[in-house]
Amino acid sequence: MSALSDTVTSTVVVDTRQSPGARLRPVAVSAVRLAGGLLAERAETSRTVSLPTQFDQIERTHRIDNFRRAAGKIDGDYVGVYFNDSDVYKWIEAAAWSLATTPDPELDARLDAVIAEIGDSQRPDGYLNSYFAVDRADERWTNPDLHETYCAGHLFQAAVAHYRATGKTSLLDIARRYADHICDTFGPEDQGRRFWIDGHEEVELALIELARATGEERYVEQAKYFIDARGHQRLPKPYGGRPKSYHQDHEPIRESSEVVGHAVRQLYFTSGATDLTLERPEPALDDALDRLWDNATDRKMYVTGGFGARWEMEAFGDDYELPNESAYAETCAAIAGAMWGWRLFLRTGEPRYLDVLERSLYNNVLAGLSRSGDHYFYQNPLEDNGDHRRSEWFGTACCPPNVARTLASLPGYLYATDDRGGIYVALYANSDATVERPGLEPVRISQQTAYPWDGTVTLTIGTTATFALNLRVPGWLSEPASFTVNGQNASVIAESSTFATIERDWAAGDTVELLLPMAVRRLVAHPKVTDDNGRVALGRGPLVYCVEAIDNAGRDVRNAILPADGAITEQWEPDLLGGVVTLSVPALFAGRDKNWDGGLYRAADEVTGGEDEQVDLTAIPYFAWANREAGPMGVWLRTTGA
C-alpha cells in the first residue's frame, strides 16, 4: 500500500490504484468539472443550499453540542439518537468533497472549527463517541446495537475525504487514533483481544479506505476480522427480538446467496467485502458477492434502483416482493447500492454494475433531494395518494448528508482507467476532465451533452496520445447505438450494457460523437412481482417516469389505464421543474371505475360500464415528483397490454 505522503495527490473516492484485485483505477474528484446539465445543477444546489442548511440543522439539533459536552465545554444532557455523531461525519465528508472541486475559504474554516470540536472530545485511549463520553462511559462496547463502530466508520470516511481534499491531517490523525484503539481492542480472542462486530455494518469499507490513505495494513486486517466474524450467530438478537438476518449475522458471507435484513446494513456490508477482495483477492468471496449482486438486482430491486421493500425493519423482502405504495426504498439504500456497484465495476470492468449505479442515481437518489435543496425523502414509494412529502430534517437524519456527500463526490464516478492507459467513460455528463493514467501523460477530455434528456454525447480529446477510449453503452438501450470519429466511419453497436472500444493515435481536437437513441420504453415486471401484474412503467434513457395529479387535471392518476399501443410523444419543458422532458401518454379512465354505484364488492355482471374517458396523461421524471402541489402519483400504471 502507498505511504501517507503519496496519497494526498489524488482526491479519489475509492482508491484502487494499488489494489491487486482491481482491474480499473478511479479518476480524482478534483480532475473532473461538471459544466452544466442535470447532475451539475443538482450538485451545485447541494453545495450552495444543502450543505449550509444541513450545518444549521446539525447545530440546531445539538449534534455538535454533543461533542462540546463530551469535551467538558458545556453542561447538559446528550441530545438525540445514539448515532447522531455519524450525521456530522457525513456532513464533513460532503463538505470535503465539495472543497475538492470548489475552493471555499469560509467552508474550509468551518470544517476546521468542527474538526477541532471533535478532536477535543476524543478520549486519551483514542475512543471517540459523544453518546458514551460522559454519563455512559462505563457502557462503552457493551451493546452492538448502538452503532459505535458504525459511527467510527463514517468518521474514517470523512477523515480520508478531508485529507485528500485539503491535504490537512487534523481529522485523519483523530481517525487513526480511534482506528488504532479499535484494532488494539477487538480481534481474535486467542490473541488476547475481544470479540466484537457492530449491528450496523459500515466500518469495514471505511477501515479499508483508511488503510489506502495511510498505508496502514492492520486496518485491512481489522476489516477482514469484522467481515469474517459476522455470520456465526454470536451477536445477540437485534434490539432484543429481531432475527439475526436483520444484521446479516445468520450465515457467513461466503455461504450467502440472498440479500436479507436491513437493506442499508446489507449493502454497506457487501461494499466492504468487495473492498476486502480488491485488496486481498479471494475467489470464494468474489463468487459470493456475484451471487448476492444477482439476487439484489434481479429479484429485489425496484425499477427506480431502490432497495428495501419493507417498512418493518427497513428490510429487503422476499424475492419479487416489491410493493409500490408501501415501498421503503430508503435513499441511503440506493446510495449504498451505487457504492457497491462502483466497487464491483472497479473490480471487474463490467458495465452492468454501472447500469444499476446509474439507475439508482438518476431515480431513487436524486428523488431524495428537493428542487430547493433543503427538503429530503427518507423513503421513496412508487405510488402515493399525496401524503408523502419531503421533510427539512429527520430525527434519524442519515439520508440528507448522505445525499450531499454523494452529489459532492459525483465527478469521481465519471471515468476510470486501466493499467495500459485505457480510459473508460462510466457516466455521461457535460464536463471537462483531466484523466490521469499510471505512468503516462494525462489526457484532457470534455463531454458536451444534454444527457439524460438527449442521447447525443460529443467527446473532444484535448491531448495527443495513444490509448483505448471505452465508451459505455448503457443497458437501458432498446435500439442500437452508434458513434463516429471526427465525423467519419460510423460504427453501429448492437449490444447494450457493453463498452465500445476505440483504440487509436489521438490528436488534440479529435472528436467522438456517440448517439444513444432514447426511445420511450414500456417496462413490465417479472410475473412474480404480483403488485405490477397488468401494469407498465415508462422509461426514457436512464430515467423512470411517473404521473402526478397536478399535471393531469387533479385526477387520481393511479386509476389511469394505458393502452398496449398508442404513440407516446416527448416534449422538452424548459420552465417545468428546472427543465425536464415530459411524456404525453394516451390513456383512459374506465367508466366502470367512475360509475361504480355498489358497495365494496359486487358480482362482475352487475357492474355498469359507463363511458370511458380518453385523455393524454403527462408524465414527468420520477426524481422530480413531490416538488409541487400534493396529489396522487404513480409509476406503475394499469394497461391493456401486460
Q: What is the pLDDT of residues 514-537, one digit of tens each?
A: 999 999 999 999 999 999 999 999
User: In degrees rounded to 5, what are phi and psi of residue 584?
Assistant: -105, 120
- Tell me what pLDDT residue 612 has: 84
**Averaged pLDDT for residues 455-480:** 97
pTM for the full predicted model: 0.97
Residue 6: pLDDT over 50 = no
Residue 423: alpha-carbon gap to chain centroid? 23
Q: Show Cβ contacts of residue 332 under 8 Å, excluding neighbours closer than 6 positions.
A: 264, 398, 399, 402
Q: What is the pLDDT of residues 421-432, one digit of tens each?
A: 999 999 999 999
Q: What is the pLDDT of residues 166-221, one digit of tens each?
A: 999 999 999 999 999 999 999 999 999 999 999 999 999 999 999 999 999 999 99
Label residue 597 by pLDDT band (50, 70, 90).
low
Q: What is the pLDDT of residues 142-171, one digit of tens each?
A: 999 999 999 999 999 999 999 999 999 999
β 561-562/637-639 pair status = parallel
**Backbone dihedral region for residue 272 (phi beyond 0: left; psi -120 to 50: alpha; all else: beta):** alpha
- Tell me what pLDDT residue 594 has: 66
314 is annotated as an active-site residue: yes
What are the CA-CA distances from residue 121 to residues 117, 132, 181, 348, 498 (Å)?
7, 11, 15, 42, 50
Q: Which residue has the higher pLDDT, 1 or 545?
A: 545
Q: Is 82 helix (H, G, I), strand (E, B) or coil?
A: coil
Residue 617: alpha-carbon gap to chain centroid? 30
Label residue 438 by pLDDT band (50, 70, 90).
confident
Residue 389: pLDDT over 80 = yes
- Tell me what pLDDT residue 526 has: 98
Question: Average pLDDT of the chain?
Answer: 95
With a pLDDT cut of 70, the percent of the chain lying above it is 97
Instruction: Indicate which residue of 151, 183, 332, 398 is catalytic.
Output: 398
Residue 329: alpha-carbon gap to chain centroid? 12
CA 553 – CA 279 distance, rounded (Å): 56
CA 347 – CA 211 distance, rounded (Å): 18
CA 198 – CA 129 distance, rounded (Å): 14
- Tell me what pLDDT residue 1 has: 58
Judge residue 439's burial from the number of C-beta atoms within 10 Å of its C-beta, 0-12 exposed, 13-18 middle, 19 or more buried.
Answer: exposed
CB 182 within 8 A of CB 125: no
Instruction: Indicate which residue of 93, 314, 383, 548 is catalytic.
Output: 314
CA 405 – CA 158 distance, rounded (Å): 10
For residue 577, the tally of other CB atoms under 10 A from its CB is: 15
Question: Cell digits for 266?
Answer: 446489507
Domains of the chain: 4-412 (1.50.10), 426-515 (2.60.40), 522-639 (no CATH)
* 518-551: burial string, b at 16+ Cβ within 10 Å, e else: bebbbbbbeeebebbeebbbbbbbbbbbbbbbbb
Question: Cell digits for 69?
Answer: 459536552
**Averaged pLDDT for residues 315-326:** 98
Long-range contacts at 414-420 (CB < 8 A, ≥ 24 apart): 414/27, 414/32, 415/26, 415/27, 415/32, 415/445, 416/24, 416/25, 416/26, 416/27, 416/345, 416/346, 417/24, 417/25, 417/27, 418/23, 418/24, 418/25, 418/349, 419/25, 420/467, 420/468
Residue 8: pLDDT over 50 = no
Residue 224: pLDDT over 90 = yes
398 is annotated as an active-site residue: yes
Q: Which residue has the cell 414500456?
A: 522
Instruction: Give one DSSP letter per residue of 231-281, joined into a string.
Output: TSS-SPPGGGTS-GGGGT-SS-GGG--S--SBHHHHHHHHHHHHHHHHHS-
CA 243 – CA 261 distance, rounded (Å): 8
Q: Which residue has the cell 468487495?
A: 274
Q: What is the pLDDT of residues 111-123, one digit of tens each?
A: 999 999 999 999 9
Q: Which residue has the cell 352487475?
A: 606
